[in-house]
């Protein structure tokens, strides 16, 4: 394949060209001065070496105020937060928990760890969020909880999920690990459930490397969590030092959230203008139906900006190779999750799960740190996309040869 020679910047980096972002994707976390000051304060006061200092109560208060949640339990990860939430819902061996067939793997494992069975329902075809209209059919006399999880910039229909949980008096657990700062109807995502969880893991929107929190306004659930956590030694604590680095991040979260929304809006409009049909926004069934409920105050969260990748529109360029190629341009795209029914057999389901299968094959997500950069950085994403799009066939041939 010898075409006319093109300047280096025209070539995909994977084929020896110059990457669009020569410095690679932005690193995470951001090295902000407020975080340094908070760490220094922790050092000076000695809180870094204490069980009980000033940082944990400060972070708890910030989260209580942010979420208007009466009870906040800090813990060692989002996954341990889910375990505590499940225990708070009194999920026990033999029980069932309804969840989407496409979700964070550890959520599924947490349920089986407690001896309960995940009952998988399918996704909506348009936005690849849990199809909550399938929940009711999945309820049995063993159902102890419903787990909803907002993924890849989408929002589960929280109004309908809430209504179903209320009608059947089943505990609704809301995983908001991917959408800190997001809200619907001015109510933060995480608090539409009876109990919500967030994560402070190293890639998340607010990070302490590890960490998580359980949020609830339900005193019974809070009491069960407290009893579990305080048997003997404290189970899954967060440290003062972790709280110290999180405090400034929660103080600036609203502003950061606004910045991310702006970037995503720009990105979507650029992609629409350029008619990049092979990369469509996860559109937006749940979100439209929420908007149609008379409010337009839907504000999604973007840990990943999710897209449906259509391999046919990209001249057969596989999703994995697309991700590899765009990453070598300095733009952090990854494939989504593996559908849960492909990873384990320890579940029950009522039907085939065709939309979860599609999500498994098609989703790609743009990692969030670039969303806090300038409009120019968002424009660069498009430049990279177009470059890969133009060279899709050549990339595919290159891969075939290099195997």
Report the interface residues with ligand PLP, using CB under 6 A: 77-79, 104, 106-107, 149, 175, 177-178, 199, 201, 204, 212
Q: How far apart are CA 403 and CA 347, in angstroms?
A: 37
Q: 47 or 175: whose CB is closer to ligand PLP?
A: 175
Q: How far is the CB of 198 from ligand PLP (least distance, A)?
A: 9
Q: How far is the CB of 163 from ligand PLP (least distance, A)?
A: 23
Q: How far apart are CA 364 and CA 78, in angstroms?
A: 22
Q: How far is the CB of 132 from ligand PLP (least distance, A)?
A: 16
Q: How far is the CB of 77 from ligand PLP (least distance, A)?
A: 4
Residue least distant from ligand PLP (Cβ): 78
Beta bridge partners of 367: 304
Q: 21 or 368: whose CB is closer to ligand PLP?
A: 368
Q: How far is the CB of 347 from ligand PLP (least distance, A)?
A: 17
Candidates 337, 304, 355; CA nearest to 108 is: 337
Helices 375-390 + 319-328 axis angle, to 10:
130
Q: 79 or 355: whose CB is closer to ligand PLP?
A: 79
Q: 56 or 75: whose CB is closer to ligand PLP?
A: 75
Q: How far apart are CA 1 and CA 392, in angstroms?
A: 14
Helices 375-390 + 253-273 axis angle, to 10:
40
Q: How far is the CB of 175 from ligand PLP (least distance, A)?
A: 5
Q: How far is the CB of 79 from ligand PLP (least distance, A)?
A: 3
Q: How far apart are CA 279 and CA 182, in angstroms?
A: 24
Q: 196 or 248: whose CB is closer to ligand PLP?
A: 196
Maximum alpha-carbon separation in the chain: 72
Q: 173 or 382: whose CB is closer to ligand PLP?
A: 173
Strands (E), 63-204: 71-75, 96-100, 117-121, 143-149, 171-175, 183-184, 187-188, 195-199
> Rounded to 5 degrees, what angle do the CA atoms 176, 212, 107 make?
60
Q: 178 or 183: whose CB is closer to ligand PLP?
A: 178
């Amino acid at each position: 394949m010898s075409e006319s020679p093109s300047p280096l910047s025209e070539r995909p980096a994977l084929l020896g060209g110059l990457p669009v972002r020569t410095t690679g994707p932005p690193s995470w976390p951001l090295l902000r001065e407020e975080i340094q000051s908070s760490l220094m304060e922790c050092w000076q006061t000695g809180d870094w070496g204490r069980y009980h200092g000033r940082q944990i109560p400060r972070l708890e208060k910030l989260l209580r105020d942010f979420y208007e949640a009466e009870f906040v339990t800090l813990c060692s990860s989002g996954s341990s937060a889910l375990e505590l939430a499940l225990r708070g819902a009194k999920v026990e061996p033999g029980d069932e928990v309804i969840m989407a067939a496409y979700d964070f793997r550890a959520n599924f494992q947490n349920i089986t760890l407690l001896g309960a069975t995940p009952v998988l329902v399918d996704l909506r075809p348009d936005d690849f969020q849990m199809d909550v209209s399938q929940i009711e059919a999945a309820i049995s006399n063993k159902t102890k909880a419903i787990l909803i999880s907002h993924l890849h910039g989408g929002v589960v229909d929280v109004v309908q999920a809430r209504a179903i949980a209320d009608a059947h008096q089943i505990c609704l657990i809301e995983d908001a690990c991917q959408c800190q700062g997001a809200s619907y109807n001015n109510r933060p995502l995480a608090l539409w459930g009876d109990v919500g969880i967030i994560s402070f893991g190293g890639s998340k929107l607010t990070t302490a490397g590890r960490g998580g929190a359980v949020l609830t306004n339900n005193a019974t659930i809070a009491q069960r969590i407290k009893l579990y956590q305080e048997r003997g030694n404290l189970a899954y604590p967060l440290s003062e030092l972790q709280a110290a680095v999180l405090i400034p991040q929660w103080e600036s979260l609203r502003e950061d959230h606004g910045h991310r929304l702006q970037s995503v809006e720009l990105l979507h409009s650029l992609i629409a203008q350029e008619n990049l049909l092979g990369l469509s926004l996860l559109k937006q069934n749940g979100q439209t139906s929420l908007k149609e409920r008379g409010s337009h105050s839907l504000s999604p969260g973007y840990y990943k900006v999710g897209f449906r990748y259509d391999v046919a529109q990209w001249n057969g360029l596989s999703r994995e190779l697309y991700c590899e190629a765009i990453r070598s341009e300095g733009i952090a795209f990854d494939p989504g999750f593996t559908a849960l029914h492909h990873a384990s057999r320890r579940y029950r389901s009522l039907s085939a799960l065709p939309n979860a299968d599609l999500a498994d094959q098609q989703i790609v997500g743009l990692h969030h740190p670039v969303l806090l950069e300038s409009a120019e950085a968002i424009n660069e994403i498009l430049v990279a996309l177009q470059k890969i799009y133009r060279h899709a066939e050549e990339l595919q041939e290159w891969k075939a040869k290099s195997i």
